[in-house]
Structure 1
Amino acid sequence: MSNPPHPFQAAIVDLDGTMVDTLGDFEAALNAMLDTLSLPHVDRPAVGTFVGKGSGHLIRRVLQTVLPAADAGRIESLFPSAWDAYQAAYDRINGRHAHVFPGVAEGLASLHASGLRLACLTNKPVGFARQLLEIKGLASCFEQVFGGDSFERKKPDPLPLLKTCEALGTEPARTLMIGDSSNDAQAARAAGCPVVLVTYGYNHGEPVRLAGADAYVDSMTGIAALLGKLTGRAATSRAAVP
């Protein structure tokens, strides 16, 4: 579209908890890691509160959960072995226990049809992110894909968003961030991007509507309808779209 009826040039879309429910993958890979270390398993509800801040944070939180308090000092000594075991397990498991959330494919198609260029930005390692997008049939939607190891810092730092805007050649104020957590909202605010959050994601186990987004949607199919109302970094209202 040469003259889209909204101010946006692009959208940056998070992956885990926003487009794909990957808790099953995380649970399986983490428990395989724990088997290697002869440690007890972690359950899925706990995993859901740890996801979103990168693999290092995820592994440390799991070790903290399964180790007795008296053994907390072992976390850093175990970490290198845990990291290697987790990476190997996730490489085998990636996508096997995951599913695309309802409305994602349709929502991405609507955003593209409205004239937006699309990039995926996640704290998941970029190799795993690209593999997962291919497995789930979403890779062709995106011009760029960046992960937690693509830049010097991860979300909620604004650097990954600013670098993604740079790669797209778009202005942050005209680039919409779409995510599921306070990480996404904080990074977007600091980068000068407007932000919409989905309500069905993980958000570290906290209420997503406290994250300070410009709008919230129960399905990605609702985002295209909001574009004309979101005019820059702050929306005129905190919209909620079913």
Structure 2
Amino acid sequence: MQFPFRPSMVLIDLDGTLVDSVPDLSACIDTMMARLGRPPCGEAAVRQWVGNGVERLVARALIGALDGEPDAADLERALPIFLDLYAEQVSARSVLYPGVREGLDLLCGRGYRLGCVTNKAARFTEPLLQAVGIRKAFELVIGGDTLPEKKPSPLPLLHAAEHFGIEPAASLMLGDSVSDVRAARAAGFGIICVSYGYNHGDDIRHAEPDAVIDAFPELGELLA
């Protein structure tokens, strides 16, 4: 299979696409819960809850579910605890997914303009990219608090397209979740998803991206 067009720019999501960050997120959530006098959530649950920013993750931990809202006072107390913990441990256990480094080398070698667009706050994004050794691959990094809106809003993608001077129709988003698909569709981008990421337990194929890959090196043939 070959992608319908050769993009001039590729924007790539971070958590669940480039990096498995759940081990660090889960450890911080469980420490936060302990400090609040509550039982731990566990990594399996946290893996189902990530993908919409840390505030939403903390809210889900407090209620123990994907949907719903915690007591406002509980969230106000819990969030600063988590943020302090995560700032200290943002890359203690997180690792690149297999094939990511090779895939990025391939894209860079072919001359693609690369940007990282994530819902993770910038204060966590930059240190994590540096720690796993891939920051230099990206000309532009947009965090979840860089702009007034984050994915699934198309704003971060359109901002990147304007930054690079590249039309959305010649641009590609590479992600793992329905938020990435919705943002790409709204922005007029192509969208490829990885099969292994964080999509709240749902098969990403149900969101109907243009293509699904199991590992980054598959981009070599797909974008040939």
Q: Common fold, TM-score beyond 0.5?
A: yes
Match of 1:41 in 2: 40
Paired with 2:56 and 2:41, the residues of 1 have a C-alpha distance of 15
Q: Which amino acid aligns with 1:145?
A: V
Letter paired with 1:226: L
Residue of structure 1 aligned with 2:135, choices 134, 139, 142: 139
Q: What are the superposed Cα offsets for residues 171-192 of structure 1, whole Å, 9 maximum, x if unpaired?
A: 1111110001111011100100
* Identity of matched residues, %: 39
Query: Which one-letter code corresponds to 2:206 in the other structure?
Result: L
Q: 2:207 is matched with which residue: 208, 211, 216?
A: 211
Matched-pair contact (CA < 8 Å) for 1:14–1:179? yes
Deviation at 1:110, TM superposition (A): 0.8
What is the one-letter code of the residue matched to 2:25? F
Q: How big is the shift at 1:139? A: 0.5
Deviation at residue 7 of structure 1 after TM alignment: 3.3
User: Aligned partners of 2:188, 2:201: CA distance in 1, in Å?
Assistant: 26
1:112 aligns with 2:111: no
Given that residues 182 and 212 in structure 1 are in contact (C-alpha distance below 8 angstroms), is that contact kept between their aligned partners in structure 2? no
Q: Which secondary structure does the structure 2 equivalent of 1:78 belong to? A: helix
Task: Summarize the alignment of residues 88-107 of structure 1 with structure 2, pairs less than 5 Å apart.
Answer: 88-107=84-103
State TM-score, norm by structure 2.
0.93
Deviation at 1:56, TM superposition (A): 1.5
Alignment correspondent of 1:51? 50
Which residue pairs with 1:62 in the alignment? 61
Amino acid across the alignment from 1:65:
G
CA distance in 1, matches of 2:148, 2:200: 23
Structure 1 position 170, deviation (Å): 1.6
**Inter-partner Cα distance in structure 1 for 2:143 and 2:30:** 23
Between the aligned partners of 2:29 and 2:127, the Cα distance in structure 1 is 18
Select the residue among 118, 124, 128 that pairs with 1:122. 118
Runs (4 or more) in structure 1 with deviation over 2 Å come to: 72-75
Tell whether the 8 Å contact from 1:54 to 1:154 is kept in structure 2 after alignment: no
| 8 Å CA contact 2:102, 2:217 repeated in 1 | yes
* Cα distance in 1, alignment partners of residues 174 and 140 from structure 2: 15
Determine the structure 2 residue equivalent to 1:234: none
Shift of 1:74: 5.6
- Length-normalised TM-score, structure 1: 0.86
Q: Which residue of 1 aligns with 2:177?
A: 181
Distance, in Å, in 2 between the alignment partners of 1:126 and 1:171 is 25
Q: Spell out, residue by residue over 1:175-228, the C-alpha distance to the aligned partner (whole angstroms, 9 max, x if none).
A: 110001111011100100000000111111111111210001010111132225
| One-letter amino acid matched to 1:43 | G
| RMSD over aligned Cα atoms | 1.5
**Any gaps of 5 or more consecutive residues in structure 2?**
none
1:80-126: CA deviation from partner (whole Å, max 9, x where unpaired) = 22110010000111111111101001101111122211000110111
Name the amino acid aligned to 1:220.
F
Q: Does 1:151 align with 2:147?
A: yes
Matched residue of 1:216: which SS?
Answer: strand
Give the 3-state SS of the residue equivalent to 2:200 in structure 1. Answer: helix
* Aligned mates of 1:105, 1:181 — CA distance in 2: 21
The one-letter code of the counterpart of 1:177 is: M
Count of matched residue pairs: 218
The residue number in structure 2 matching 1:75 is 71
Contact kept in structure 2, 1:153 and 1:159, CA below 8 Å = yes
Unaligned runs of 5+ in 1: 1-5, 67-71, 229-242
Larger radius of gyration: 1
Return the alpha-carbon distance in structure 1 between the equivalents of residues 94 and 201 of structure 2.
19
d(CA) in 2 for partners of 1:74, 1:180: 27
* 8 Å contact from structure 2 (residues 63, 70) kept in 1: no
